[in-house]
Amino acid sequence: MIQSNQKVLVTGGTGFVAIHSILQLLNRGYKVRTTVRSLKSKKKIFEMLENGGITDFSDLEFIEADLTSDNNWAEAMKDCDYVLHIASPIFLRLPKNEDEMIRPAVDGTLRVLKAARDAGVKRVVMTSNFGAVGYSHKDKNSLITEESWTNPNEKGLSTYNKSKVLAEQAAWDFMKNEGGALEFSVINPMGIFGPSLSPDLSSGFELLKKLLDGSMKAIPDIRLGIVDVRDVAELHILAMESPEAKGQRFLALSGGTMSLLEIVKLLKEKMPYVTEKASTKSLPTFIIRLTALFNDQAKAILPLVGIYRNASNEKAKTILGWKPQSNEEAITATVISLIKWKSLKI
């Protein structure tokens, strides 16, 4: 372990990417402070880090802070060299008015950046997503890079992805006009899979569970860009440490895309004992289009069907020396976690 006197603030410590980032930072010898919406979450974070192999918590501290309030952000930033801004506002239901999701995302991002600038933080690395990069890209024969941006008014764009585009755009505008000496980098992950340190599983796990437990009777033509959560966490830290990452955004994906059907076939080959109930029957796109007229679930997935978005991870590999694991490794690690946490019975 490299001993470091440098302190890193990680926002939203209970999150899937955040907890893996905290784990890696502690293993690298950094001092870590993390924000939680309630200090009651401390026990959960300790348990997750223990599951990741951490036994010494002397370099970890907590502070209660919420993206929707100014309270405690100045204190959270105090004496921090870096900030990994990973937290997103949480919604238990889809709001009727999109501003209910967009405003907290934009305002929360600006709140963190202002507090970091005012506290003299060296650099903020922010988690955005692929939805801010490639959802307006129509040419399936060309490669999506960090130069691409999603049009926030793109037809069919989810409110969540719209909030991510607008929050990232607001962040770059702030840095240009009011950032002062603060440095800034952005990570744009595709579909995040990999091992979970707790039974609380993210959306990627739910998708794989439905593929494997037989609840998805036929498989729609959906392709995913995939990245392992451990690689996403490492990419945040590389972007934090590298001078070359200043003012840059980085796409996070392992390699090429995989269709849902390809994922099932991979698991039938690698882990046949988990795929006995899994369907390999294709769901024709015209059926989804018809069903979407009266079914909200079909309507939600329709913008993803038959879309081929090929993106490049070359920038992160070239500039930061990032070496992500394969799609196969990310997927199999996810399934192992589904079994470990008894979410998938075999």
How far apart CA 84 and CA 184 sit, in angstroms, is 10
Phi and psi torsions of 312, nearest 5°: -110, 135
Reply yes or no on whether 164 is catalytic: yes
Phi-psi region at 177: left, alpha or beta (left = phi > 0; alpha = psi -120 to 50) = alpha
| Cα Rg of the chain (Å, integer) | 20
Which residues are paired to 32 by β-bridges?
8, 60
Residue 309 DSSP code: -
Q: How far apart are CA 193 and CA 267, in angstroms?
A: 14
- Please, are residues 34 and 58 in contact by the beta-carbon 8 Å criterion? no
Are the CB atoms for 242 and 183 separated by under 8 Å? no
Annotated active-site residue in 40, 164, 281, 323: 164
CA 129 to each of CA 160, 211, 285: distance values in angstroms, whole numbers, following the listed order: 10, 24, 26
Residue 138 CA to residue 25 CA, distance in Å, equals: 38
**Distance of CA 156 to CAs 149, 159, 304, 334, Å?**
16, 9, 9, 29
Structure tokens at 206: 């739910």
Q: What CA dihedral angle connects 72, 75, 80 and 82, to 10 degrees?
A: 20
Phi, psi (rounded to 5 degrees) for 122: -75, -50
Say if strands 82-85 and 123-127 run parallel, antiparallel, or are unpaired. Answer: parallel
How many residues comprise the chain? 346
Contact (Cβ atoms closer than 8 angstroms) between residue 291 and residue 305: no
Return the active site residues: 164
